[in-house]
Amino acid sequence: MKLAIEIAERARVVEYAPGATEVLVDGVSIPIEARELRPGVLSLIVAGRAWRVVLEEDATEPAVLIGGERLAYRVDDPRSLKARRAHSGGSDGPKSIKASMPGRVVRVLAAKGESVAAHQGIVVIEAMKMQNELKSPKDGVVAEMRVKPGDTVAAGDVLAVVE
Amino acid sequence: MQEWTGAETGKVWAAGSRGLSVALQWPLPFETQRRVFRKILIANRGEIALRIARACREMGISPVVVYSDADRAALHVLEADEAYRLGPAPAAESYLRGDLLLEIARKSGAEAIHPGYGFLSENADFAEACERAGVKFIGPPAAAMRALGSKTRARQAADRAGMPRTPGSTQGLASLDEAHKVAAEIGYPVMLKAAAGGGGKGMRAVARDEDLKSAFEAAQSEAERAFGSSEVYLEKLIERPRHIEIQVLADEHGHCVYLGERECSVQRRHQKVIEEAPSAVVEPDLRRRMGEAAVRLAQSAGYTNAGTIEFLVDDARNFYFLEMNTRLQVEHPVTELVTGLDLVHLQIQIAQGEPLPLRQEDVQLRGHAMECRVYAEDPDNGFFPSPGKITRLAQPGGPGIREDAGIYEGWVVPMDYDPMLSKLVAYAPTREAAIARLLRALDEYVIGGIRTNLGLFRRILRDADFQAARIDTGYLERLLAEPLPAADGREERERVAAIAAAVFESGRAAAAPAASAETTRAWKRAARAEGLRS
């Protein structure tokens, strides 16, 4: 199958069929031997060079751990109209504020209906004795406040929506 | 093993000595009791609870552990003989509940409590409560803890022991006027510090007299909030100091030795990040002078068991007493590796009333050890903590690698405690070889599912200044302010990562029952990623 893989803001078109011994990267053939040792753990030999690659998926983005580095990626099936539409997603409209890390809500700094400015603090979450203030992504009004102090949140949870 | 022998005197002690000849002092002082522990209650969690449990097992002692509700599935619970619930997740309702700990000690029949580090380890009231309850606290007596625990009292003790310290006050500042007076005497820049402080809280550097007022008030209120005491004092700021500390061990028969130094200059916000032994700048003569000063201080306060005296060392290799930590330190493994001693075994032997099995001249330093504190935190996101499930774990091994960890694949790192996951330690004949070994081990180490600071260590260990040991306590903050250097082979890794992503995605698509599954997935992902950005 043909996939557009974007890593560090560079997209590559990668063509690979499961079990194949070559892969096309932007049309260039590269010999590979891939073995998934267990789900999400890959032994990959690319033109003779051996790599261990670990797949990571959390609520925010898929990523691979490789050579001590964590590289997040985006994947689009070039045939998919839906994917392209999602990709180009609009920048206006309501914006949600999500927890980037699991934690506990310690303070809510803006109530529903309140006008807020871009970069104004909205919610403070705490984990492992450290606090993180999540800020409004834009000027607007708090349309939803989904949490209150004491709530436990997971990474990726929507905490509030600003319109 | 010998049974409880009470205040017996005169017999040669053999059970605990480790083959080194010892000049024994007989008879033992009247109050010294020889004991043999059959059970030890470990009043801690995480890697240190496991490390102590391992020492117990090696000595034929049964480890008893405790856990909060957040730690029911923690590794230290799996590795213990007995485990007791303390209470809900917050430390104040669990690991800080001295009353419950003593109750569990009584119920389980543990003769001693090892407090580890943090939590109740430096709490003199708890040490006293143990004493009253007839449970041996594995650490110094409460009185020694009190004499050295407060920074101002420790500075007074340093003066009595003839130990160099930074110029400044040895008592809490009564007023802002007094602060101005002391600052004028010693000259700017100065440092305000909380007497009860630790971890950088209640600390303020002040460069000019006009800034003193606001810094004084801020330090006072921060100290009050963090430690329940607003006592602050003032000392001369040492510019670009190294943090070098001396490990001491003292038995209950008046013997005390120092086990060389550890350099802990690589710090972020006053928290140690990398520690090593020996220090690249400590020559034998300096080591002896620092060590002897440390021993004098410990002995003058009636100190027993393991302790650490922290110093600042300036460019001219002058050393200044900073504070004493009256407990086992996080970074004790580097000392163990270069001395060949097991500090937790020795702590337990000392608490059993045994004399130290070694004299100062028996302490030999060999090779170089270096430790990385692996944290669940995200260096790319302001070092914000990253608790959560460890979905993948591959731990390093091989020659010269020691890993003290409290984690396993599938474990959910709780959000309620310190983010330390493990201590990765390398031992090699030289500093250069230890760095190479750590880098090799870091490449083997995979922790998936949560963010960690493993990448930060790669950066530090490859940095030319670190490799040349040009470090001081401001080194890491300066390094972090620099732009990230271009990593070698980044382009190739990105290409291979793209191939791997395609392999994962196509494998999943093949396994998915519906033909459109991959499209749906990709769409969901794209939407998710988009949602995050907006």
Count of domains observed in chain A: 2
Please state the rounded mean pLDDT for residues A2-23: 93
Contact (CB<8Å) B519/A80: yes
Is residue A65 domain-shared with residue A129, that is, in the same domain? no
Query: Which of A100 and B16 is assigned the larger pLDDT?
Result: A100
SS3 B372: strand
> Which amino acid is it at B290?
M
Closest chain A CA to residue B443: A68
Residues B473 and B92: their CA atoms lie apart, in Å, by 32
Residue B378 near chain A (CB below 8 Å):
yes
Residue B527 near chain A (CB below 8 Å):
yes
Residue B509 near chain A (CB below 8 Å):
yes
Contact (CB<8Å) B392/A66: no
pLDDT in tens, B311-367: 999 999 999 999 999 999 999 999 999 999 999 999 999 999 999 999 999 999 999
Is residue A76 domain-shared with residue A8, that is, in the same domain? yes
Residue B270 gets the label, from left (phi > 0), alpha (psi -120 to 50) or beta, of: left
Residues 6+ apart with CB under 8 A from B193: B151, B202, B203, B219, B232, B233, B234, B235
Run of H or E including B423: strand B420-428
Hey, of A2, A23, A41, A53, which one would you mutate to test binding to chain B, going by the most B CBs within 10 A of its CB?
A53
In chain A, which residues have their Cβ closer than 8 Å to the Cβ of B89?
Answer: none
> Which amino acid is it at B127?
A
In chain A, which residues have their Cβ closer than 8 Å to the Cβ of B383?
Answer: 130
> Which amino acid is it at B100?
L
Contact (CB<8Å) A16/B496: no
Is residue A30 domain-shared with residue A70, that is, in the same domain? yes
A89 pLDDT exceeds 70?
Answer: no
In chain B, which residues have their Cβ closer than 8 Å to the Cβ of A99?
Answer: none
Under 8 Å between Cβ of B454 and B390: no
Give the model's confidence band at B521: pLDDT under 50 very low, under 70 low, under 90 confident, else very high.
low
CATH number at residue A109: 2.40.50.100
Size of interface A-B (CB pairs under 8 A): 205
Contact (CB<8Å) B503/A71: no
Of residues B386, B392, B503, nearest to A54 (C-beta): B392
> Which residues of B are identified as catalytic?
327
Is residue A77 domain-shared with residue A99, that is, in the same domain? no
CA dist list (Å): B404 to A80, A145, B336, B401, B420: 48, 42, 13, 10, 11
A65 pLDDT exceeds 80?
Answer: yes
Residue B162 near chain A (CB below 8 Å):
no
CA atoms within 13 A of residue A17's CA, in its CB half-sphere = 2
- Phi and psi at residue B353, to the nearest 5°: 90, 10
**Beta-carbon count within 10 A of A1 CB:** 16
Restricting to B residues 397-436, those with a Cβ less than 8 Å away from any Cβ of A are 415-419
Query: What is the per-residue pLDDT for A87?
Result: 43
Closest CA to A64 of B289, B427, B197, B500: B500
Under 8 Å between Cβ of B263 and B246: no
Contact (CB<8Å) B494/A55: no
Under 8 Å between Cβ of B71 and B53: no
Is residue A77 domain-shared with residue A131, that is, in the same domain? no
Under 8 Å between Cβ of B401 and B426: yes
pLDDT in tens, B191-241: 999 988 776 778 899 999 999 999 999 999 888 888 888 899 999 999 999
pLDDT in tens, B357-408: 999 999 999 999 999 999 999 998 889 899 999 999 999 999 999 999 999 9
Is residue A28 domain-shared with residue A76, that is, in the same domain? yes
Give the model's confidence band at B508: pLDDT under 50 very low, under 70 low, under 90 confident, else very high.
confident
Contact (CB<8Å) A68/B382: no
CA dist list (Å): B322 to B150, B158, B195, B244, B283: 11, 10, 12, 10, 20
Residues forming a β-bridge with A71: A64
A90 pLDDT exceeds 70?
Answer: no
CA dist list (Å): B4 to B305, B351, B457, B493: 20, 13, 47, 62
In chain B, which residues have their Cβ closer than 8 Å to the Cβ of A102?
Answer: 386-388, 415
Is residue A78 domain-shared with residue A99, that is, in the same domain? no
| Token output for B513 | 């029952």
pLDDT in tens, B101-151: 999 999 999 999 999 999 999 999 999 999 999 999 999 999 999 999 889
Q: Of the candidates A87, A117, A143, which is a domain's last residue?
A: A87
| Token output for B391 | 């979905």
Q: Of the candidates A87, A114, A134, which is a domain's last residue?
A: A87
Please state the rounded mean pLDDT for residues A135-146: 91
Contact (CB<8Å) B501/A101: no
Residue B503 near chain A (CB below 8 Å):
yes
Under 8 Å between Cβ of A144 and A126: no
Closest CA to B15 of B470, B348, B450: B348
| Helices marked H in B44-196 | 46-58, 75-78, 98-108, 124-133, 142-149, 151-160, 176-186
Closest chain B CA to residue A6: B498
Contact (CB<8Å) A52/B446: yes
Residues B175 and B179: their CA atoms lie apart, in Å, by 6
Q: Which domain holds residue A74?
A: 2-87
Contact (CB<8Å) B415/A62: no
CATH number of B167-236: 3.30.1490.20
In chain B, which residues have their Cβ closer than 8 Å to the Cβ of A130?
Answer: 383-385
Contact (CB<8Å) B505/A75: yes
Is residue A103 domain-shared with residue A57, that is, in the same domain? no
What DSSP designation does B208 have? S
In chain B, which residues have their Cβ closer than 8 Å to the Cβ of A76?
Answer: 522, 526
DSSP string, A37-88: EETTEEEEEETTEEEEEEEEE-SS-EEEEETTEEEEEEEE-TT-HHHHHHHT
Query: What is the per-residue pLDDT for B259?
Result: 98
Query: What is the per-residue pLDDT for B485?
Result: 80
Choosing among 3.40.50.720, 3.30.230.10, 3.30.9.10, 3.30.470.20, the CATH entry for B242-481 is 3.30.470.20
What DSSP designation does B169 have? -
Q: What share of chain B is helix, strand, coil (3-state, %, to 5)?
A: 40, 20, 40
Torsion A52-A57-A61-A62 (CA) sign? positive
In chain B, which residues have their Cβ closer than 8 Å to the Cβ of A81?
Answer: none
Residues A133 and A70: their CA atoms lie apart, in Å, by 25
Residues B280 and B527: their CA atoms lie apart, in Å, by 52
Please state the rounded mean pLDDT for residues B436-442: 97
Is residue A119 domain-shared with residue A77, that is, in the same domain? no
Of residues A15, A64, A156, nearest to B501 (C-beta): A64
Residue B388 near chain A (CB below 8 Å):
yes
Is residue A83 domain-shared with residue A6, that is, in the same domain? yes
Closest CA to A88 of B530, B528, B519, B521: B530
Task: Give me the interface pTM, i.e. the ipTM.
Answer: 0.76
Q: Where in chain B is the domain with CATH 3.30.470.20?
A: 242-481
Roughly how many angstroms between the first and final C-alpha of chain B, as a whole number? 67
CATH number at residue A32: 3.30.700.30
Of residues B382, B499, B534, nearest to A14 (C-beta): B499
Residues A54 and A50: their CA atoms lie apart, in Å, by 13
| Maximal C-alpha separation, chain A | 60
Of residues A5, A91, A130, nearest to B385 (C-beta): A130
Residue B191 near chain A (CB below 8 Å):
no
B14 pLDDT exceeds 60?
Answer: no
Hey, of A2, A14, A87, A136, which one would you mutate to test binding to chain B, going by the most B CBs within 10 A of its CB?
A14
Domain spanning B39-138: CATH 3.40.50.20:
yes
Under 8 Å between Cβ of A90 and B527: no
Q: Of the candidates A30, A62, A87, which is a domain's last residue?
A: A87
Is residue A83 domain-shared with residue A99, that is, in the same domain? no
SS3 B33: coil
Whole-model pTM: value is 0.86
Q: Where in chain B is the domain with CATH 3.40.50.20?
A: 39-138
SS3 B297: helix
Helix axes B151-160, B142-149, angle to 10 degrees: 100
What DSSP designation does B379 have? G
Residues B451 and A60: their CA atoms lie apart, in Å, by 13
| Helices marked H in B173-308 | 176-186, 212-227, 284-300
Exposed / middle / buried, residue B531 (Cβ in 10 Å: 0-12, 13-18, 19+): middle
**Beta-carbon count within 10 A of A17 CB:** 12
Separation in Å, CA of B159 to nearest CA in chain A: 36
Is residue A71 domain-shared with residue A143, that is, in the same domain? no
- Phi and psi at residue B341, to the nearest 5°: -105, 160
Separation in Å, CA of A80 to nearest CA in chain B: 7
In chain B, which residues have their Cβ closer than 8 Å to the Cβ of A137?
Answer: 534
In chain B, which residues have their Cβ closer than 8 Å to the Cβ of A68?
Answer: 442-443, 454-455, 458
Closest CA to B413 of B443, B375, B469, B442: B375
Contact (CB<8Å) B503/A42: yes
